[in-house]
């Protein structure tokens, strides 16, 4: 049987590059120049970093499109820049956005504060209530937004019924797939129209570059590009170069993170100091079946509820040696963070508990260190 396309591990290294010639550099050159000499008397060949069309940007955009199975992709300066431009390309004042209630804190603020101030109506829906999605659709609804897996609870949303509903109503389904990376999920395969990533996380994978990605049809990406140019969210060439380097190991990194997280979650599940483990790979997880149907791997993100609550968490975090206490996720170094002091600091303790983030909740981004060392670190910190 002939294989139709290259596997993602190969695409992440070679996708979008032409035939190689003698003398070509194996590592791509970094072209930091923001502008390029243009032919006189024509508008073609007008290259400028803010237009997203300089060499490092173009290379990595082609590769990202191939990884997501999209016609085109655009690289932006951050995940938030990607979400803002992706949505501005779909929504105008007077339009209505239907969004999952469980989304990244920054995205939530963008929708509630910026969009509503600019005449875009926003309705939040429980993503597990398909009937609620249907009921909330209005005449002026234009787009549906979902994040999956969800930050920080690691819940997984079944995209298929939401995609069917969106298609039926003629709405664009936008999915923030940051937690999965294209190795674990390609939302377009499940009926989404647009995919968003914080490239800062798994795609780059080394906690050293800030980037965002939007992928979709070529026609739509043109519209996002038009927004990006004037709102000024283009990525820097050096960040794009770092991303290209990071992408080369995306597959091995994510496979290792999947394996590590599964081992660590399983170990934590049998630990009396831990009240609850949030990991979609565990059979006890509420979305385990959905996760099996949506994901190729259960991911490197997990969370634990410490039985001792907030005080125990403080002690636990101070004793950890390998896990570093820092925001962000998806890199080779394992990190821990507490949503009560970061993304969910603006909610009260009771409000957080109601949405599944009680005091004692620790979000863990599993890196690619040895799983045994990571487990030993957790074990000694719990003592
Ligand atoms: C981090 C993150 C973002 C925002 O990305 P930045 O690169 O920090 O702007 C959006 N969505 C999710 C799920 C994230 O984890």
pLDDT tens figures, 83-103: 999 999 999 999 999 999 999
Measured CA angle at 101 (ends 96, 102), to 5 deg: 135
Confidence of residue 4 (pLDDT cuts 50, 70, 90): low
The CATH code belonging to domain 8-18+43-247 is 3.40.640.10
Q: How far apart are CA 195 and CA 63, in angstroms?
A: 14
> Which residues are known to be catalytic?
50, 104, 176, 201
Instruction: Give the pLDDT of residue 5.
Output: 67
> For ligand 1, what atom is nearest to the CA of residue 179?
13
Confidence of residue 343 (pLDDT cuts 50, 70, 90): confident
What residues does CATH 3.90.1150.10 cover in the chain? 251-382
- Is domain 251-382 classified as CATH 3.40.1350.10? no
Q: How far apart are CA 10 and CA 247, in angstroms?
A: 10
Q: Is the CB of 198 under 6 A from ligand 1?
A: yes
Instruction: Give the pLDDT of residue 241.
Output: 98
- Residue 234: strand pairing partners: 76
Instruction: Give the pLDDT of residue 3.
Output: 53
Dihedral angle over CA of 136, 137, 143, 149, nearest 10: 40
> For ligand 1, what atom is nearest to the CA of residue 83?
10
Instruction: Give the pLDDT of residue 270.
Output: 95
Q: Is the CB of 158 under 6 A from ligand 1?
A: no
Q: Is the CB of 210 under 6 A from ligand 1?
A: yes
Determine the average pLDDT of the residues in 295-303: 98
What residues does CATH 3.40.640.10 cover in the chain? 8-18+43-247
Q: Is the CB of 323 under 6 A from ligand 1?
A: no
């Amino acid at each position: 049987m002939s294989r139709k396309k290259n596997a993602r591990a190969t695409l992440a290294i070679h996708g979008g590059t032409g035939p190689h010639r003698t003398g070509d550099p194996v590592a791509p050159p970094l072209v930091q120049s923001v502008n390029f000499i243009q032919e006189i008397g024509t508008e073609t060949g007008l290259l400028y970093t803010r237009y997203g069309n300089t060499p490092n940007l173009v290379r990595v955009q082609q590769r990202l499109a191939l990884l997501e199975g999209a016609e085109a992709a655009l690289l932006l300066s951050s995940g938030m820049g990607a979400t803002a431009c992706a949505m501005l390309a779909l929504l105008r004042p007077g339009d209505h956005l239907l969004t999952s209630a469980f989304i990244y804190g920054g995205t939530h603020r963008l929708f509630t504060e910026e969009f509503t101030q600019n005449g875009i109506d926003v309705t939040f829906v429980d993503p597990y209530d398909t009937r609620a999605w249907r009921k909330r659709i209005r005449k002026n609804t234009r787009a549906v937004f979902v994040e999956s897996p969800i930050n920080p609870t690691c819940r997984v949303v079944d995209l298929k019924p939401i995609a069917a509903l969106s298609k039926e109503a003629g709405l664009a389904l936008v999915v923030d797939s940051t937690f999965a990376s294209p190795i674990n999920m390609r939302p377009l395969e499940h009926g989404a129209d647009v995919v968003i990533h914080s490239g800062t996380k798994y795609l780059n994978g080394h906690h050293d570059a800030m980037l965002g990605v939007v992928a979709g049809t070529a026609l739509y990406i043109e519209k996002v590009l038009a927004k990006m140019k004037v709102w000024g969210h283009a990525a820097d060439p050096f960040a794009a170069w770092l991303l290209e380097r990071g992408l080369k190991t995306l597959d091995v990194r994510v496979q290792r993170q999947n394996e590590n997280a599964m081992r660590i979650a399983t170990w934590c599940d049998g630990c009396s100091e831990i009240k609850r483990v949030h990991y979609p790979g565990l059979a006890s997880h509420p979305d385990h079946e959905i996760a099996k149907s949506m994901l190729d791997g259960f991911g490197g993100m997990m969370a634990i509820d410490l039985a001792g609550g907030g005080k125990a968490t403080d002690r636990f975090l101070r004793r950890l040696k390998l896990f570093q206490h820092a925001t962000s996720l998806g890199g080779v170094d394992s990190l821990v963070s507490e949503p009560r002091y970061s993304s969910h600091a603006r909610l009260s303790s009771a409000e957080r508990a109601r949405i599944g983030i009680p005091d004692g909740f620790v979000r863990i981004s599993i890196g690619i260190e040895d799983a045994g060392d990571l487990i030993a670190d957790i074990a000694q910190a719990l003592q």
